[in-house]
């Protein structure tokens, strides 16, 4: 320890004194005046690499005007010194040999910019992660390797060119797909910020899942109340155009300028309608189908509302189930079977994807689902509780007293694919169980769980429910509860780990499977927009912590439960984040993109399509230029990943900033003895 410190102070001495004298002769001989800074990293590098030797060697490289060592290249004082050097010594190429570019590439690019030098004239050499840390056992070898790496950076900076960002026009419009709470909130936020919004909803009514829940935790308003408030906000904004029954069927273009084709399915009902007549039309419709809105526990007609007073307040005809019997037309003048699907072309600078989730649908026989008639899912249970009036909870005409809830159904699966926790379900289920217990007589709640996760403030619900006498029984994932019919009674049993694995059972009048969230079964929109999905099959962000609402497809942001299980609070937060992100893309009407992208030489290109196959971002299109088909790069899509370069048979593609010439010179410098 002591030894180390004395060595460090030695190094500091050295650092102070080792500014190289300027060599008059080298100034004239070369085009570039290059400055090289070799960093000690406070010993992290200099304990293993002889930085002074590195400096001495590279000082003599062609074009190097000054070479210095420094204790901490990233320190404020050194940054200031660099700026001063660049300005006073008129440097036009800079190399810092220090840590990984992941840490400080941007820092030193900024330094050069502050000094008025184009940031692409800066080249970073990594002699810490790649040298001192990797070869701490061989100081001489490490020093040699560092010299080669710095030389290759110098070779690159000799050929570097000033580059300007690529400017593209951005349409000041955002297309928000999905009008659940997340999409609606994002639309309102964007409209308030002053951009135009297309809000595209596939169903005939807005609100998404939340419309289905009525009483909600954790603040006590109903889903309908929330949606009414959001819908009122939407109506009050002329910036928002809402489409219902609408689906995006084609997409082209890229960030700043997407083109979407939207198919609008008609309601077959005229906008100016007579409310009384419409009710009659619903009454006379002879077709009855299971009501998806109520998770099939009730039926609805082919002409339908989701619930009285939903938005927009105009029923629709479900044409797939309509038999065209014409009964409704007889009693209602607003029915119009001549309406045709419409196709609209819209343009948007950014797309905000908020298409939500599906509740997990248990397999037939999973905890008796689909086989035992009093086994239902949590979404169904919420509808049952909602529709029961009076002080008796009833299902299929029977009174319900004992309710067994089985948690984590479709989530945290040991054998299945859904490894994740669905987050909302513990809380929502306990909330609903309390609701039922308070509203109806003689309810006993039995929670068969795998550890309750009512995180954050929601814990108070768990507390309340246990104080109300709810009983919690727990098992591990490998020993789940069992649901069986014994003498005509549904019995749920468990080896309760809280009671020394004792086998306990409950005779249940109703079994509620606390089902989790899964991605929308229909991923057509995801496929169309090429938004990648994570291991959980929900839409994937670039970086969970640092870029939580952006996708790798530039210009497309994600929000709400389509990105992964979220409650309303979390959906709203992500909606606001995504709206802000989409806003920054379109706000100024112009986008500045990285210039380090692929460039095709039209003389050499013989359009074979191999680059198109290799490109993960679909940046290539064939185009006729001067009577010849060549590949053209979409500048706003290309990310400069370089996948196309090695596959081009005629070597017609160059990567700006990493041209063959630059890379080859770097390799040569590395090999040089």
Partner 1 sequence: MARINPGFTKALKRFGAFDVNACYNCGNCTAVCSLSDENNSFPRKMVRLSVLGLEGELKNSLEPWLCYYCGECSTTCPRQAEPGELMMSLRRWLTAQYDWTGLSGLFYRSLTAVITAFILLATGVLWFASAQNFNPDRLLHTGHYFEMLAIAGVFVFILLPNIIRMWMLTVYSRHEKIPVKKYFKTFGELFVHMFTQKRTLGCDKSKTRWTEHLILVFSYLSLLFTTVFLDWFGTNSKSIIALGYIESAAIFIVTILFIVARMKKSTEVSKHSHPSDWMFVVWLSLLGATAFVVRLFIDLDMLENNIWIYIVHLIILVQWALIIVPFGKWTHFLYRSFAMWFLKVAE
Ligand X SMILES: Cc1cc2nc3c(=O)[nH]c(=O)nc-3n(C[C@H](O)[C@H](O)[C@H](O)COP(=O)(O)OP(=O)(O)OC[C@H]3O[C@@H](n4cnc5c(N)ncnc54)[C@H](O)[C@@H]3O)c2cc1C
Residues near partner 1 (CB under 8 A) are: 444, 446, 462-463, 466-473, 493, 498-500, 502-507
Q: Which of 46, 257, 411, 432 binds ligand SF4 (CB under 6 A)?
A: 411
- Residue 243's CB is within 10 A of a number of other CB atoms, namely 20
**Cα atoms in the 13 Å half-sphere on the side-chain side of 585:** 29
Contact 256, 636 (CB under 8 A): yes
Closer residue to ligand X (CB): 316 or 644? 316
* Residue 627, phi-psi category: left (phi > 0), alpha (psi -120 to 50), beta (remainder): left
Question: Least distance in Å: CB of 187 to ligand X?
Answer: 11
In whole angstroms, how close is the CB of 464 to partner 1 at the nearest point? 10
Please check whether residue 668 is in contact with residue 155, taking contact to mean a CB–CB distance below 8 angstroms: yes
| 566 scored as a contact of ligand X (CB under 6 A) | yes
Let me know how long the chain is.
673
Asked if 216 interacts with ligand X (CB under 6 A), we say yes
Of partner 1, ligand SF4, ligand X, none, which one does residue 49 interact with (CB within 5 to 8 Å by kind)? none
514 touches which of ligand X, partner 1, ligand SF4, none (CB within 5 to 8 A by kind)? ligand SF4
Contact partner, 462, from ligand SF4, ligand X, partner 1, none, Cβ < 5-8 Å per class: partner 1
- Smallest separation (angstroms) from partner 1 to the CB of 77: 53
Whether the Cβ atoms of residue 478 and residue 342 lie closer than 8 Å to each other: no
Handedness of CA 311, 356, 365, 420 (dihedral sign): negative
Tokens for 619, please give them: 């940046």
The stretches of 2-71 forming alpha helices (DSSP H) are 2-17, 24-29, 51-59
Is 355 among the residues that bind ligand X (CB under 6 A)? Answer: yes
The radius of gyration of the chain's CA atoms, rounded to the nearest angstrom, is 33
Do 662 and 159 contact (CB within 8 A), yes or no?
yes
C-alpha span between 566 and 563 (Å, rounded): 8
Among positions 86, 186, 273, 354, the unique one binding ligand X when judged by CB under 6 A:
354
Q: Which is nearer to ligand X, 207 or 480 (CB)?
A: 207
Nearer to ligand X, 40 or 224 (CB): 224
Q: Which stretch binds ligand X (CB under 6 A): 28-36, 270-278, 348-356, 541-549?
A: 348-356
Q: At which residue do the structure tokens 């709470």 appear?
A: 181
Nearer to ligand SF4, 468 or 667 (CB): 468
Q: Between 363 and 402, how does the x/- string for binding to ligand X read (CB under 6 A)?
A: ---------------xx--x--------------------
291 phi and psi angles, rounded to 5 deg: -85, 105
d(CA 456, CA 87): 54
CB 199, min distance to ligand X, A: 9
- Residue 378, binding choice from ligand X, ligand SF4, partner 1, none, Cβ under 5 to 8 Å by partner class: ligand X
Site for ligand SF4 contains 453 (CB under 6 A): yes
The helix (H) or strand (E) run that includes residue 493 is: strand 489-496
Distances (CA, A) of 14 to 41, 78, 146, 387: 13, 15, 18, 82
H/E segment holding residue 575:
helix 568-586
CB-nearer residue toward partner 1: 147 or 436? 436
All residues at 6 or more sequence positions from 372 whose CB lies less than 8 Å from its CB, including other chains: 483, 485, 490, 511
Whole-angstrom distance, CA of residue 529 vs CA of residue 552: 11
Are 593 and 168 within 8 A, CB to CB? yes
Residues of span 90-119 touching ligand X by CB under 6 A = none
- 560 counts as binding ligand X under rule CB under 6 A: yes
| Binding pattern for the stretch 42-81 against ligand SF4, x by CB under 6 A and - elsewhere | ----------------------------------------
- Choosing among ligand SF4, ligand X, partner 1, none, which partner's interface includes residue 408 (Cβ < 5 to 8 Å by kind)? ligand SF4
Helices (H) and strands (E) in the chain, counts: 17, 34
Of residues 276 and 416, the one with the C-beta less far from ligand X? 416
Q: Is 352 in the site for ligand SF4 (CB under 6 A)?
A: no
Backbone angles phi, psi at 396, to 5 degrees: 50, 40
- Give whichever of 178 and 548 is closer to ligand X, judged by the CB atom: 178
Residue 37 binds: one of partner 1, ligand SF4, ligand X, none (C-beta under 5 to 8 A by kind)? none
List the single partner that 182 binds among ligand SF4, partner 1, ligand X, none, CB under 5 to 8 Å by kind.
ligand X
Nearer to partner 1, 153 or 508 (CB): 508
Q: Which is nearer to ligand X, 467 or 521 (CB)?
A: 521
Q: What are phi and psi of 313, to 5 degrees?
A: -85, 65
Q: Can you tell me the distance from the alpha carbon of 580 to that of 175, in angstroms, rounded to the nearest whole number? A: 13
Smallest separation (angstroms) from ligand X to the CB of 320? 16
Residues that bind ligand X (CB under 6 A): 177-183, 200-203, 208-210, 213, 216-217, 247, 354-357, 359, 378-379, 382, 424, 428, 431, 520, 525, 560-562, 566-569, 571
Q: Which residues bind ligand SF4 (CB under 6 A)?
A: 407-408, 411-412, 421-423, 425-426, 453, 514, 516
């Amino acid at each position: 320890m002591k030894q180390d410190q004395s060595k460090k102070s030695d190094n500091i001495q050295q650092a102070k004194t080792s500014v190289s004298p300027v060599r008059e002769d080298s100034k004239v001989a070369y085009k570039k005046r290059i400055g090289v800074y070799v960093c000690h990293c406070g010993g992290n590098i200099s304990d293993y690499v002889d930085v002074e030797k590195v400096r001495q060697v590279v000082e003599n490289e062609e074009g190097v005007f000054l070479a210095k060592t420094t204790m901490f290249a990233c320190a404020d004082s050194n940054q200031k010194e660099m700026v001063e050097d660049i300005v006073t010594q008129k440097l036009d190429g800079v190399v810092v040999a220090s840590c990984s570019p992941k840490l400080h590439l941007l820092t030193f690019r900024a330094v050069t910019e502050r000094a008025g030098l184009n940031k692409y004239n800066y080249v970073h050499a990594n002699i810490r992660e790649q040298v001192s840390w990797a070869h701490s056992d061989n100081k001489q070898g490490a020093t040699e390797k560092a010299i080669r790496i710095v030389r290759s950076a110098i070779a690159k900076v000799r050929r570097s060119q000033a580059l300007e960002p690529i400017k593209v026009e951005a349409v000041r419009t955002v297309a928000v797909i999905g009008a659940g709470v997340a999409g609606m909130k994002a639309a309102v936020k964007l409209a308030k910020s002053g951009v135009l919004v297309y809000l595209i909803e596939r169903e005939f009514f807005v609100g998404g899942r939340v419309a289905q829940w009525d009483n909600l935790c954790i603040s006590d308003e109903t889903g309908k109340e929330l949606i009414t408030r959001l819908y009122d906000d939407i109506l009050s904004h002329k910036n928002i155009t809402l489409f219902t029954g609408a689906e995006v069927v084609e997409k082209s273009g890229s960030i700043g300028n997407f083109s979407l084709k939207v198919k609008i399915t008609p309601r077959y009902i005229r906008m100016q309608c007579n409310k009384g007549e419409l009710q009659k039309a619903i009454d006379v419709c002879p077709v009855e189908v299971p009501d998806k809105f109520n998770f099939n526990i009730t039926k609805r007609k082919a002409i339908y509302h989701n619930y009285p007073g939903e938005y927009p307040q105009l029923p629709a005809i479900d044409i797939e189930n309509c038999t065209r019997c014409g009964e409704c037309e007889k009693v209602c003048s607003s029915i119009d079977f001549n309406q045709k699907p419409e196709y609209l072309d819209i343009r948007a600078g950014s797309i905000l994807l908020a298409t939500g989730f599906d509740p997990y649908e248990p397999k037939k026989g999973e905890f008796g689902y689909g086989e035992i008639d009093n086994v239902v899912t949590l979404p169904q249970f919420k509808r049952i509780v909602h529709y029961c009036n009076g002080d008796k909870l009833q299902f299929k005409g029977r009174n319900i007293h004992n309710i067994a809830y089985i948690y984590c159904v479709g989530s945290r699966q040991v054998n299945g694919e859904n490894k994740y926790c669905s987050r909302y379900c513990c809380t929502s289920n306990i909330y609903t169980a309390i609701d039922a217990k308070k509203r109806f007589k003689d309810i006993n709640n039995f929670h068969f769980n795998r550890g309750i996760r009512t995180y954050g403030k929601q814990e108070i619900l768990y507390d309340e429910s246990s104080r109300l006498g709810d009983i919690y029984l727990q098992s591990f994932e490998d020993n789940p509860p069992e649901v069986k019919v014994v003498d005509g009674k549904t019995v749920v049993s468990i080896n309760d780990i809280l009671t020394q694995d004792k086998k306990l059972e409950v005779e249940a009048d109703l079994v509620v499977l606390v089902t989790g969230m899964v991605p929308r079964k229909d991923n057509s929109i995801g496929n169309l927009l090429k938004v990648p999905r994570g291991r959980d099959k929900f839409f994937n962000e670039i970086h969970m912590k640092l870029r939580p609402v952006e996708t790798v497809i530039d210009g497309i942001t994600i929000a709400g439960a389509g990105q992964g299980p979220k409650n309303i609070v979390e959906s709203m937060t992500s909606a606001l984040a995504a709206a802000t992100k989409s806003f920054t893309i379109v706000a100024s009407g112009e986008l500045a993109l990285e210039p380090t992208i692929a460039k095709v030489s039209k003389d050499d290109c013989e359009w074979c399509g191999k680059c198109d196959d290799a490109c993960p971002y679909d940046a290539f299109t064939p185009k006729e230029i001067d009577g010849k088909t060549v590949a053209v790069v979409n500048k706003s899509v290309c990310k400069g990943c370089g996948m196309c370069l090695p596959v081009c048979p005629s070597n017609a593609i160059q990567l700006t900033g990493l041209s063959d010439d630059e890379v080859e010179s770097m390799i040569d410098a590395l090999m040089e003895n």
